[in-house]
Structures are given as structure tokens and as C-alpha cells.
């Protein structure tokens, strides 16, 4: 089986794919003795990787995943991938209790996965500044050799604009935060359009998960509806034929064809913020240190090759002054945000961000 999988990987790498996303990457082996998982203490249960109605959450998954043989296979896969230039891998870690530890084990060194993501920012927990700081601090303490890939939304969870009930301004600030923290960034289709979770009627459901647990859990199809490309075309320009899931009518006003014409659109913002990240190598490669963390405010410093970049985020509905660490800081106006500076200092209006540069030392 392993040889067949490695041959399939070679088949696609020979055809020029850039790499692979490995779904539930820690699920590939189970316990050789087929031991049952013990029950999980209810105090430790959460719905990070499975809905609360799923009995899967009632077990402590010690024997059906994250087995040591898995690492041996990933090492073999990486050896194949290293035969091809610039091929990369990202693993999805499906683990509600030990996700960061699995990330560390699966990305340590240079002979395993290039990066992994778990469900810290894919959960229902609202990402207050203190919560984000706690995740980042834990990550830095545990993943000392590896590399993370961060995401807010994917095909398994309610879109984060809906899940966290974010305003348009909040979506943009959290997007900037995602692109400022150490690690790679994964943007889910439609996120750059500001799409919210779509309502999918029971008779239109395709997800077996939703059919099984309806109505307590309505499945994942609300995040999987077609991408709206052209507002005034059939099926939003996604297909001339009936798609697998219906196009959400409320998504049409956010179609690419609409936002392409608007300088202040969500799509334009994402393009600007991605360009800003690409323009600063410190955001791509730099070390990271959390400076301040409050529920409604977070600041951190990225540092690389003699350059420091302060990234400050107002995650609240009120104005917030920026507290600069010691140094000669110069605000970088290239980011698509507004911060006000006068004789009294620099102030962030609600849901705004500030980026400032200084030399190390």
C-alpha cells in the first residue's frame, strides 16, 4: 500500500504539481493490537475537530491515530518529494487534544512535512487578542523546529465571517493578523470575497455528516457552495450546468465581477494585504514575539536580518493608542489600514492595524 501511494505521488509530481495537502495526516495508521480508545473525561471534550453531537468526541483517541508508524511513512513521502524542486506539503492535523504536539512531531527537521495546521483558529472559540496570543505562545513553546500553516476557514467548518460574527472591518483586521503571524497562510476559497456561510436546505445537502446529524448539525455544505465569479450569469458564472450545491443568492453581490470594479472591495483589500506581505521578507521568514495582548488589542514584533516590524491590531470598537517598544520606529503606510499620528502619539481607530519598521539592536 505504501509503495502504491508513493508511486501515485510520483505520478503527479512528474506532471508538475506544486505539492500535496494531506487530509487528516495523522489518521493513516492505527494501533497494531486494535485496542479500544479509552473514554475522554467530559471536562476535556471540545468541538474543535468534530461537532459536539458526534460521539467521536467522547473518546480519547490514543489508539486509532497519531501512531509512530505514521512518521516513518511521512519520512518516505518527503524523500520522494525532495527529488523534485520546489515541491511542498501541508498536513491537516485532526486532533482536538494534542494538535500542537502532533504539529511539532510531523514538521521537525527537514525530512518530514514542510508544514502542518491544526484547528486552533478553525474552532468556534472567538479569537480575542489574549486567545490568539495564547495559541501563538503555546506554538512557539512546543513547535521549536517545525513550521505552521494558519487558517481561519476551510471545507470542514462554518466560514469564519459567520462563525465569529465578524463585521466587514473585523474581517479585514483579522485577515491582516493572519498574514502577520509566523508561518504560512492558507486562505479558503471565497474568503477573499468576504463570503459568509450559505444556507443549504436539507433536500440540497450532499454532506453525509449533515444528513446524519440534522438538524443539530447541518453539515459542512454551507462552506462548500460554488464560488461566485460573475454576478449576472447562471450559477454565478461557476458552471453552465447545475452545480453539486446551489449558489447562495446572497453571495452574488460579492462576486468577483462586482468586486473587481471596486477599489475598496474586500477582494481589493486581500490583494493589497497579500502584496504587503510579499514585499516584506520579515513577514515571510522572521522570528516572532508577542509584545502586548488584551482581549481587544494585540501587538507583536517580527524580526529578520536586522529588520524589525511591529504589527499592532485594534480588535475592538474603540480607539486604542499604539505603544511602541524602544527604538526608532517608522510607520509603513503601504498596508491598507489607517492609523492616526500627532504630537500625542499614534492611535488606532476601531478595527484598524498599524505596521512600523525599525532596525534591530
The predicted structure's pLDDT at residue 183: 95
In the chain, how long is the greatest CA-to-CA distance? Answer: 70
Strand intervals (E) in 4-127: 19-22, 88-92, 115-117
Residue 53: pLDDT over 90: no
Torsional sign, CA 66, 150, 218, 45: positive
The answer to whether 232 is a known catalytic residue is no
| Residue 207 per-residue DSSP state | -
**% helix / strand / coil in the chain, to the nearest 5?**
35, 15, 50
Q: Rounded to two decimals, what is the model's pTM? A: 0.94
The predicted structure's pLDDT at residue 342: 79
The answer to whether 140 and 148 are in contact (CB under 8 A) is: no
C-alpha cell of residue 55: 460521539
Map out the domains of the chain as residue ranges. Answer: 2-274, 287-359
C-alpha cell of residue 318: 474603540
Average pLDDT for residues 65-82, to the nearest whole number?
A: 96
Cβ atoms < 10 Å from Cβ of 119: 22
- In the set 83, 241, 328, 342, the catalytic residue is 83
CA dihedral 170, 166, 91, 89 (to 10 degrees): -40
pLDDT tens track for 92-117: 998 888 889 999 999 999 999 999 98
The answer to whether 103 and 148 are in contact (CB under 8 A) is: yes
DSSP 220-253: SGGG-SPP---TTSGGGGS-SSPPSSPPPGGGGG
Letter string b/e over residues 241-271, b meaning 16 or more CB atoms within 10 A of that residue's CB? eeeebbbbeebbebbbebbeeeeebbbbbbe
Top-confidence residue, 250 or 345: 250
pLDDT tens track for 34-46: 999 999 999 999 8
Task: For domain 287-359, give its CATH number from 2.60.40.1180, 3.40.50.10320, 3.40.50.1220, 3.50.50.60.
Answer: 2.60.40.1180
Q: How far apart are CA 272 and CA 114, in angstroms?
A: 27
CATH class of 2-274: alpha beta
Average pLDDT for residues 278-283, to the nearest whole number?
A: 97
Residue 340: pLDDT over 80: yes
Residue 52: pLDDT over 90: no
Average pLDDT for residues 81-97, to the nearest whole number?
A: 93
Helices H, strands E: what count in the chain?
Answer: 10, 13
- In the set 18, 23, 69, 253, the catalytic residue is 23
Residue 302: what are its φ and ψ, rounded to 5°?
-105, 140
Nearest CA to 269 among 329, 336, 333? 336
Q: Where do the H-state alpha helices sit in 15-98?
A: 68-81
Residue 343: pLDDT over 90: no
pLDDT tens track for 177-230: 999 999 999 999 999 999 999 999 999 999 998 999 999 899 999 999 999 999
The answer to whether 241 is a known catalytic residue is no
- Identical topology for domains 2-274 and 287-359: no
Nearest CA to 146 among 187, 99, 180? 99
Phi and psi based region of residue 330 (left: phi greater than 0; alpha: psi -120 to 50; beta: remaining)? beta
Residue 121: pLDDT over 90: yes
The predicted structure's pLDDT at residue 344: 76
Amino acid at each position: 500500500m505504501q509503495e502504491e501511494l508513493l508511486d501515485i505521488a510520483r505520478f503527479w509530481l512528474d506532471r508538475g504539481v506544486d505539492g500535496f495537502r494531506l487530509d487528516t495526516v495523522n489518521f493513516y495508521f492505527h494501533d497494531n493490537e486494535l485496542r479500544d480508545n479509552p473514554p475522554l473525561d467530559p471536562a476535556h471534550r471540545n468541538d474543535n475537530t468534530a461537532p459536539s453531537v458526534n460521539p467521536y468526541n467522547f473518546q480519547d483517541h490514543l489508539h486509532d491515530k497519531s501512531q509512530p508508524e505514521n512518521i516513518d511513512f511521512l519520512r518516505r513521502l518527503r524523500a520522494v518529494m525532495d527529488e523534485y524542486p520546489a515541491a511542498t506539503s501541508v498536513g491537516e492535523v485532526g486532533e482536538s487534544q494534542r494538535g500542537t504536539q502532533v504539529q511539532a512531531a510531523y514538521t521537525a527537521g527537514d525530512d518530514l512535512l514542510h508544514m502542518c495546521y491544526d484547528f486552533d483558529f478553525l474552532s468556534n472559540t472567538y479569537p480575542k487578542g489574549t486567545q490568539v496570543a495564547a495559541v501563538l505562545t503555546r506554538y512557539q513553546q512546543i513547535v521549536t523546529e517545525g513550521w505552521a500553516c494558519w487558517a481561519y476557514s476551510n471545507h470542514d467548518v462554518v466560514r469564519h465571517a459567520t462563525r465569529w460574527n465578524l463585521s466587514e472591518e473585523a474581517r479585514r483586521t483579522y485577515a491582516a493578523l493572519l498574514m502577520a503571524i509566523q508561518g504560512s497562510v492558507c486562505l479558503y476559497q471565497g474568503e477573499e470575497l468576504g463570503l459568509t456561510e450559505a444556507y443549504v436546505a436539507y433536500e440540497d445537502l450532499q454532506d453525509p455528516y449533515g444528513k446524519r446529524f440534522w438538524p443539530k448539525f447541518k453539515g459542512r455544505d454551507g462552506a462548500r457552495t460554488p464560488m461566485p465569479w460573475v454576478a449576472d450569469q447562471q450559477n454565478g458564472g461557476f458552471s453552465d450546468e447545475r452545480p453539486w450545491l446551489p449558489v447562495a443568492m446572497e453571495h452574488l453581490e460579492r462576486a468577483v465581477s462586482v468586486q473587481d470594479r471596486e477599489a475598496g472591495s474586500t477582494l481589493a483589500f486581500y490583494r493589497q494585504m497579500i502584496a504587503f506581505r510579499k514585499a516584506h521578507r520579515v513577514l515571510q521568514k522572521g522570528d516572532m514575539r508577542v509584545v502586548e495582548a488584551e482581549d481587544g488589542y494585540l501587538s507583536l514584533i517580527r524580526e529578520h536580518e536586522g529588520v524589525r516590524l511591529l504589527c499592532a491590531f485594534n480588535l475592538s470598537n474603540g480607539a486604542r493608542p499604539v505603544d511602541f517598544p524602544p527604538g526608532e520606529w517608522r510607520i509603513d503606510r503601504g498596508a491598507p489600514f489607517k492609523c492616526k499620528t500627532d504630537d500625542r502619539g499614534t492611535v488606532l481607530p476601531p478595527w484598524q492595524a498599524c505596521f512600523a519598521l525599525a532596525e534591530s539592536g
